[in-house]
Amino acid sequence: MRLRILLWKDFRQQTSFLLASLILLLLPYLIVSVIFVVVQIREQNSTPWYDYFRIASIASLIASMINFSFFPANAIAGERADRSAEFFAYLPIRRSEAVLSKAIVSLALSTGVVVTCVAIMYLSFKVGRIERGPSWEERCLFVATLMAMFGIAWGVSSFATSATYAAAAGIALPICYGVTLALLLEEQGLPSPQVATIFSLSCVVVGPTCFAAGVRHYLHRVKP
């Protein structure tokens, strides 16, 4: 009962972010539809609609990645920003149940959104009769990046009082790190797949570490 009502609260806390992310995910479809219509009017024998659909679904999937930063960022710091964290702090809620609920809700929401996008992308592949989907390496790279984004955003959120900083850190740090790594290692003559592997491995380490640090800090912090 306690966990259920905490899950409800944490879900409600995230609804504005959920709404924003849905708009963001629909945006590629809107833009691509407009382009499709314009192109159809100008020239008759253009590319088929499912090619546009595929492009939109890939763009939408890439955009959906930022959810892995938004939801965890908002989970802890969001309550501090609107000061409701103080209200919850003096209720007899154990920190462990509070953090569990936040983790479940933010992980479920971000995974839910991304999985939906992946499903739509595969649907677009099927419609466009594209046989070759992403490779195993690409899938691993994708999942590892998400882990880093989630972990970093969550960790910063636990220390910060602003969800914006936490979300920015979750998005920017993996990108900066990836770009720097690629530039440095490829200059050394390392082939791209190997660079990707190194990046993925470090993400898999950094993400959970930051997440664990965030949980630990949240459990021990006295201030709401």
Partner 1 sequence: MSKYQNAIEIRNLGKRFKDTPAVQDFSITVAPGRVVGFLGPNGAGKTTTIKMLMDLLRADTGTISLLGLDPTEVATAIRARVGYVPEQQNAPRWMRVAEAISFCRTFYPTWDDNLCDQLIRLFSLDPSKKIQSLSKGTKVKLTLLLALAHRPELLVLDEPMAGLDPLIREELVDGILQTASDHPRTILFSSHTFADVQRLADEVVIIHEGRLLAQSPVDDLLAKTKRIRSVLTDGAEPQKNPKGTIWQQRSGREWLVTVNEFSQDTIDSLKAGTDLENIEVIDLSLEEIFKDFIRGQRSELCA
Instruction: Pick between residue 5 and residue 34 the one whose CB is nearest to partner 1.
Output: 5
Are 103 and 215 in contact, with CB atoms under 8 Å apart?
A: yes
Select 104 or 190, whichever has its Cβ closest to partner 1: 104
As given in the structure block, the two tokens for residue 166 are 């936490």
- Token pair of 32 as six digits: 């691509």
- Per DSSP, 189 falls in state T
Rounded CA-CA distance 179/131 in Å is 30
DSSP 65: T
- The tokens for 178 are 């990836």
The answer to whether 126 contacts partner 1 (rule: CB under 8 A) is no
Q: Which of 26, 40, 86, 137 binds partner 1 (CB under 8 A)?
A: 86
Residue 224 in contact with partner 1, rule: CB under 8 A:
yes
- Residue of 82, 137, 138, 186 interacting with partner 1 (CB under 8 A): 82
Q: In angstroms, what is the minimal distance from the CB of 19 to partner 1?
A: 12
Q: Are 93 and 3 in contact (CB under 8 A)?
A: no
- Cα–Cα dist 40/57, whole Å: 20
Q: Residue from 20, 46, 94, 115 that binds partner 1 (CB under 8 A)?
A: 94
Residue 179 in contact with partner 1, rule: CB under 8 A = no
**Contacts with partner 1: how many residues (CB under 8 A)?**
23
Question: How is 120-134 classified by DSSP, letter by letter?
Answer: HHHHHHHHTT-----
* Spatial separation of the C-alpha atoms in residues 114 and 57, rounded to whole Å: 11
Question: Whose Cβ is closer to partner 1: residue 6's or residue 166's?
Answer: 6
Regarding 89 and contact with partner 1 (CB under 8 A), the answer is: yes
Using rule CB under 8 A, residue 83 touches partner 1: yes
Residue closer to partner 1 (CB basis): 13 or 67: 13
Closest Cα to residue 69, out of 27, 113, 36? 113
Stretch that binds partner 1, among 9-17, 19-27, 39-47, 56-64 (CB under 8 A): 9-17
Residue 200 sits in the site that holds partner 1 (CB under 8 A):
no
Our finding on whether 5 is near partner 1 (CB under 8 A) is yes
Q: What token pair was written down for 112?
A: 């839910």
Among 4-12, 17-25, 138-146, 207-215, the segment contacting partner 1 (CB under 8 A) = 4-12
| Residue 219 sits in the site that holds partner 1 (CB under 8 A) | no
* Helical pair 192-220 and 136-159, crossing angle rounded to 10 deg: 30
Q: Which residues bind partner 1 (CB under 8 A)?
A: 1-2, 5, 9, 12-13, 15, 79, 82-87, 89-94, 222-224
